Each structure stands twice: as C-alpha cells, then as structure tokens.
Amino acid sequence: MYSIAWANADLSPFDRSNTDKAKIEADHPVPCRLCEAAYRVLTLTMRFCATCEQGYCQPSHGGWVGRRGSCIQCGPQQARAIEREQDDVAPLVPFDVFWSRVKTELSRLPEFNPGYRGLTMKKWTQDKGDLGETFDALYKGGDTLLCDTASTDELRYISVAEVRKVYDVWAKYRAGRVRRGYIVHDLGVQNSTWIIALLKHFEHLMEDAG
C-alpha cells in the first residue's frame, strides 16, 4: 500500500554517544525504538560523528559508515581511503636528490648582489593559491638561503633542515591533508611562508627523472 519512509531505518539499540546530542537528547528521552527510527529519518542531515564530534562531520570527510557510526574519514574505512589518496600522489625523489637539483638551479642564476645569486618568487599557499606578493631569494652556496621580507629590512635565513621538514610532508600538504598550521606549530618551521613558495617554485625538481 503505502511506502513507509522509516521502514528500513536503523533499529539497533539507542546509543547516545553516536547521535546528535543537542537535537536528540537534550534530556528528552526517546520513548521507543520506532519513534527514534522515525526521528532519525526526519533528521538525516543532523547526524553526529562520534569520533571527530562534528555535526555531519564536514563534507570533506565524505560519506558515512553508518547512521550512528563514524564518518568514513574517522571510521574503519579511513585506512583504505588514505591508501587511495596516496596512490593518486606521485612519489617524490629523496630530499637529498631534490636539494642537490635546487642548488644546481640556483648556482646558474644571475647575480643579484656581489657574491649572491638569486631570483624573485611568488608567495603561494595550497588553500589560497597565488597571494599576489613576491620576495627575493639569495644564494651564496652551501645549504642556506636568504629571503627578504616586506615588513622589515632584515633577511630571513632559510636552513636546509627547515626545508627538509616541509619537503617530508609536501605530498600531504599538496593533497590538503596537512595545512600550514601543522607545519608551523607541530613541525616548528618558522619560515614556512618562504619555504612553501620555494618548494612550489621548484616542484618540477621533485619528479623522478627516470
């Protein structure tokens, strides 16, 4: 006769930790499993991920494992999802190979100042793209770069150790799985603005020539 919308609803025992606390609980008891099922059908967009504790768990987390479970990003399918993402990212050459290529490129640049070679690069981030600002990077040899700043007359010293830290997470950064805040606060890279722009400029040198 009639199609009952909640006929195929999830009728497993009520679990308050895996539902929208504000909408369903709020000290309001659910009288029976059937009423709960109907309510869940009417509030499908109000689902709550028990793992990351966000309503609907953000569109970037993808679909749901179950109505009361975690989303795919947080749930048991997370590992497989990450594997698929990693398969889409081209493998990078070892950092020492990349850095050697960068120094070779820098050594071929014209002189900016006596004893220094350099170039002008655009500031860039994964989420915003071209920031519309530029800076000069100077190279005198070795494993250190000097970069100017717009706010002061001082130069920033960029060490190879900092560049290596960002390079190690570059594929994840480009895939959107790591943000600049992680690079600054968790990895302790204070010159991330210049290093991210540097890696973007020389990204073609990360590819395996073979």
pLDDT (tens, 9 = 90+) of the chain, 210 residues, equals 444 443 444 445 545 554 544 444 455 444 455 555 555 555 444 455 555 545 444 444 444 444 445 555 555 544 444 444 444 456 689 999 999 999 999 999 988 778 899 899 999 999 888 989 999 999 998 999 999 877 667 789 999 999 999 999 999 999 888 999 999 999 999 999 999 999 999 999 998 865
Residue written as token pair 């099922």 = 37
* Containing structural domain, residue 25: 16-85
Measured from the Cβ of residue 167, the count of other Cβ atoms closer than 10 Å reads 21
Helix (H) / strand (E) containing 141? none
Per-residue pLDDT reduced to its tens digit, 150-190:
766 778 999 999 999 999 999 999 988 899 999 999 999 99
Domain count across the chain = 2
Structural domain includes residue 52: yes
Residues 6+ apart with CB under 8 A from 138: 112, 113, 116, 117, 118, 145, 146, 147, 155
Structural domain includes residue 131: yes
Q: Under a CB-based contact definition with an 8 Å cutoff, are residues 116 and 106 in contact?
A: no
35 and 95, same structural domain?
no
Name the domain boundary from 85, 106, 128: 85
At residue 38, the pLDDT reads: 55
Name the domain boundary from 37, 65, 85: 85
114 and 58, same structural domain?
no
